[in-house]
Amino acid sequence: MQISEASRVSGVSARALRYYEAEGLIVSGRCANGFRDYCRPTIERVLVIRELLASGLPVRLIRELLPHLTDEPGGVCPEFLVEVQRHRDRLAARIAVLSDQQAALDAFLRKARSAGS
């Protein structure tokens, strides 16, 4: 199928499809006229990429993760799970900082409001 159909079926813009390919996340075939040709497995791969992207994983990590996600029979090798885990931990650390800042702002607002009124 060509890019327009692949876009409809996957719900991903043609722009994004070309972008994923440029980033090495997917590979598409080429017709005689130079148009990209997408197959079912590629569409499914795109959906997986969307999930990974939505979870906040960087493209670089997804690129290294994908081949191990499709080829490995019994799951993903722990090597990559460790990287994903680290990314999750950094995320948790950022959330902790933001939570503290939120609490600090709440305290500031309470104080400022009570003092003003």
Partner DNA sequence: CTTCTTACA
Partner DNA sequence: TGTAAGCA
Q: Summarize as ranges the residues that interact with DNA (CB under 7 A).
A: 2-5, 12-16, 18-19, 34-36
Structure tokens at 38: 């997408």
**Is residue 74 exposed (0-12), middle (13-18) or buried (19+ Cβ within 10 Å)?**
exposed
* Min CB(27)–DNA separation in Å: 13
* Min CB(7)–DNA separation in Å: 7
| Cβ nearer to DNA, comparing 13 with 70 | 13
| Cβ nearer to DNA, comparing 5 with 51 | 5
Residues of the chain by 3-state class (helix, strand, coil), percent to 5: 70, 5, 25
| Cβ nearer to DNA, comparing 31 with 115 | 31
* Min CB(38)–DNA separation in Å: 9
| Cβ nearer to DNA, comparing 13 with 102 | 13
DSSP 29: E
What angle separates helix 40-54 from helix 3-10, to the nearest 10 degrees? 50
* Min CB(85)–DNA separation in Å: 26
Rounded Cα gap, residues 114 and 110, in angstroms: 6
